[in-house]
Structure 1
């Protein structure tokens, strides 16, 4: 999902909706075709997905360049088809920045494709629209996720923890590449408790 140029974090919600029952996490097909739209997971358990997430890495976007570290998102279920979105980060000046929005489920079968909107943000201020946030991978324990848009022009690695070990980064890279991403276009997002430097995922 996206957030405006004021704050950075994978701002989308959590697939809401008709999939409120607990279901086993399933990943999208492992063989990604770059010419096919990014595939969602088969079913997203929204109740498990909502809550707090840290952005550990992302495809750089103009609207998140002001965020220096600790980019986070908080999602809360509003009703069967809507999730509130609250994105925050620490700017290069050391200030806190944030923006609030809404994520609306566009795919009730998987609940993993959403349209995220933010009031006052050009081209993204309408509650309804095509999916711009797709959960394409979710760990079995819902500890981390990979989300993006249909054309892979955006991509966000979200984690419940602000830090992961070397094995965790290797897994993140493997999953990103299996979903059709070039790991060199995804760069790390510094966190106070985790990785401090900004570097391409392909170099980790």
Structure 2
């Protein structure tokens, strides 16, 4: 019984650690979740099995009555020729004016979602990091970004130690959404 409790506590401590931003990476402040809500298109990402082969990826964020954020991720699985959808829940990890949340698509297991760059004037683009430098997304309200913004985000991500040369640039060809 004691071993089971220690194993559970260890697993929970790992889960808690996985929500922090990478060392030296800081979430934006003056963050307004109400302005961040709505649909975002994935412009680029570092590769992970849960998104491998996906095109036309987008995320929709909606505030829930309990203060959590409903997350709906959608994308087109090019191998299966079918749309996929995952629904999750995000919670702030601290102050609500700091762009640092934890998101879960699998029950009690959360991962970090840290907005590390943001168009604070219009909320048209963002740079999002996960719990380590293996997770990075460039998001925008449109399916493309102006070249100067794209370069600015690449330069910032590279300076923070992200492998920008390994980014996958997401194709957005399909107009039909599920």
How does the TM-score come out when normalised to structure 1?
Answer: 0.67
SS at match of 1:64: coil
Instruction: Assess if the C-alpha contact under 8 Å between 1:82 and 1:104 holds in 2.
Output: yes
- CA offset at residue 109 of structure 1? 5.2
Q: What are the equivalent positions in structure 2 for 1:157-168 lying under 5 Å apart?
A: 157-168=138-149
Residues of 1 paired with 2:99 and 2:148: CA distance?
A: 26
Residues of 1 paired with 2:146 and 2:173: CA distance?
A: 15
- CA offset at residue 192 of structure 1? 1.6
Which structure shows the higher strand fraction? 2
Residues of 2 paired with 1:36 and 1:115: CA distance?
A: 16
Q: Is residue 138 from structure 1 mapped to residue 118 from structure 2 by the alignment?
A: yes
SS at match of 2:64: strand
Instruction: Assess if the C-alpha contact under 8 Å between 2:134 and 2:162 holds in 1.
Output: no
Paired residue total: 151
- CA offset at residue 43 of structure 1? 2.4
Residues of 1 paired with 2:161 and 2:28: CA distance?
A: 14
Instruction: Assess if the C-alpha contact under 8 Å between 2:24 and 2:160 holds in 1.
Output: no
Instruction: Assess if the C-alpha contact under 8 Å between 1:40 and 1:136 holds in 2.
Output: yes
How does the TM-score come out when normalised to structure 2?
Answer: 0.76
Residues of 2 paired with 1:36 and 1:188: CA distance?
A: 25
Q: Is residue 150 from structure 1 mapped to residue 131 from structure 2 by the alignment?
A: yes
- CA offset at residue 149 of structure 1? 1.8
Higher mean Cα deviation, 160-169 or 43-52? 160-169
Q: Is residue 53 from structure 1 mapped to residue 34 from structure 2 by the alignment?
A: no
SS at match of 1:152: coil
Aligned to 2:15: none
- CA offset at residue 163 of structure 1? 1.3
Residues of 1 paired with 2:72 and 2:31: CA distance?
A: 20
- Computed over aligned residues only, the root mean square deviation of the Cα atoms, in angstroms, reads 2.1
1:184 to 1:64, Cα distance in 2 relative to 1, 3 A: same
Structure with greater Cα Rg: 2
- Stretches of 4+ aligned residues off by more than 3 angstroms: none
